[in-house]
Structure 1
Amino acid sequence: MLESTIDALAQDGWSATTVAVVAERAGVSRGATQHHFPTREDLITAALEYMFDTRMAQARAEAVALPQGPGRTEAVVTRLVDYYTSPIFRAALQVWTAAAADPEMRARVLPLEEKFGRVAHRTAVDHLGADDSDPRTHRLVQATLDLARGLGLADVLSDDSRRRGEIVKVWASVLDASLSVDAT
């Protein structure tokens, strides 16, 4: 049901993602869905948690394949940007947009956003091998996450992959040089 919720959000948007639509996509009855998730908000909140857990498991698995030495920073930045251009991000974006106008949904999403933000930052720091105790490095990592999110937003309405790839290369070289300077 949770994967069906994510798919519906990513493909059809917030308004079209109803309990009935999710139940149909999942091949279960609406009653069965509502047994586990009494409200649409409960279902979507659970889907957000599932998206987060799925993404973190992917990030841990991908970390093993990251190159050591030259090319690592670009590989990390590329993976971050890939996440923000993925269906999971598109689904989350639908929920974040709805939460901006719905106080009840906002109250559910804000704690998750804080949790997701902290873990995403920590994961980026770990993958970059950066010293997050340095305030400048902390801001550089946060700027990288903000850049990745912005590139993801730019990709929502049209394929921006060519420009995005060029930006990733340039930012990775700037970040690599900046982190190297900070390490000395």
Structure 2
Amino acid sequence: MTTAKKPRVPRGPNAERRAATRAKIMDATVRCLAEYGYAATSTPLVAKIAKVSRGSLLHQFPTKIDLMLAVAEHASRVRGATVRENLSPYPEGPDRFLHGVDAVWASLQRVEAIALMEVTVAARSDKELAARYPEFAVDLDALLHRARVRMAENLGIPERQEEIETLAHLTRVALEGLAMSSVFIGRQTDDAARVVALLKRMRQQVIDGLVAEAAKANL
């Protein structure tokens, strides 16, 4: 039996230059989307802001849609990293679950979150983007689902996974809606603190219920 060869991973100066160029393109695209919106973001404008040749950009991202999907993935990773960074002081368990609300809200304050909102909203009207965006959305939902399963397991209540998943989903859509209201409507998020506090109270009620159940079980 022949062993399949592993794909060759490019290394050396060329790979480093390519990675550096990609990073500049990602940063410039995020800035374009956040400042000018999806419709006004174009590959020539991104190349100009990134200070790379349009040929270099098109070599990595042949079309605007390729670029938009790459930025969506990039922005999603940045948001995830921000959540993890904000939760790093808390051990797995109730405290981490409670402060997950703050962590999600912090991730939505990043410019990458605005860029992701622009791409998501554009998928409703841009037919080419709409045809390809669902694959990204499905992968993202699967990632979030796995995180919620771990959340229920770390709370010691895998049997209540559905409840935890619903509460986590509510947190996400409520805070994303609040962020979109600020970005697209221009409304100041004076209500943000109250919404975050309410969502945390809801999570605290779940934690209190778990403590009460544990106490009864030990009687």
TM-score > 0.5, shorter chain as reference: yes
Distance 1:118 1:133 in 2: 19
Partners of 1:144 and 1:121 in 2: CA distance: 14
In the alignment, what sits opposite 1:32? 56
1:144 aligns to 2:171 (yes or no) = yes
Alignment of 1:7-26 (within 5 A): 7-26=31-50
Q: Which moved more, 1:32-41 or 1:82-91?
A: 82-91
Determine which of 176, 186, 189 is the counterpart of 1:158.
Answer: 186
Q: Determine the C-alpha separation between the residues in 2 that align with 1:22 and 1:86.
A: 19
| Match of residue 171, structure 1, among 190, 196, 199 | 199
Q: Which residue of 47, 50, 64 maps to 2:74?
A: 50
Between stretches 98-107 and 118-127, larger displacement belongs to 118-127
Shift of 1:91: 0.7
Change (3 A) 1:179 1:154: farther
Of 94-103 and 70-79, the range deviating more from structure 2: 70-79
Alignment-derived partner of residue 59 in structure 1: 83
User: Once the 2 structures are TM-superposed, how far is the Cα of residue 168 of structure 1 from its aligned partner?
Assistant: 0.7
Contact kept? 2:83, 2:100, Cα under 8 Å: no
Instruction: Report the Cα distance in structure 2 between the residues aligned to 1:72 and 1:63, rounded to whole angstroms.
Output: 6
Identical counterparts, % of pairs:
25
Deviations 1:112-150 (A, max 9, x none): 112223323444665684445422222122111121212
Distance change >3 Å, CA 58–CA 171, structure 1 → 2: closer
SS of residue matched to 1:15: coil
Structure number with greater Rg is 2
> Residues 51 and 88 of structure 1 are in contact (CA less than 8 Å); yes or no, is this contact kept in structure 2?
yes
Q: Unaligned regions of 5+ residues in structure 1, if any? A: none
Instruction: Give me the TM-score of the superposition, normalised by structure 1.
Output: 0.85
Q: Distance in 1 between matches of 2:192 and 2:51?
A: 37
TM-score using structure 2 length: 0.73
Structure 2 residue runs of 5 or longer lacking an equivalent are: 1-24, 214-219
**Structure of greater relative contact order (alpha carbons < 8 Å, 6+ residues apart):** 1
Corresponding residue number in structure 1 for 2:116: 92
Paired letter, 1:52? S
Q: Partner amino acid for 2:193?
A: G
Distance 1:88 1:46, change over 3 A: same
The change in CA–CA distance for 1:125 and 1:87 in structure 2 (over 3 A counts) is farther
In the alignment, the residues of structure 2 paired with residue 132 and residue 17 of structure 1 have an alpha-carbon distance, to the nearest angstrom, of 44
Residue 112 of structure 1 pairs with residue 136 of structure 2: yes
Name the count of aligned residue pairs. Answer: 184
- What is the root-mean-square deviation of aligned Cα atoms in Å? 2.5
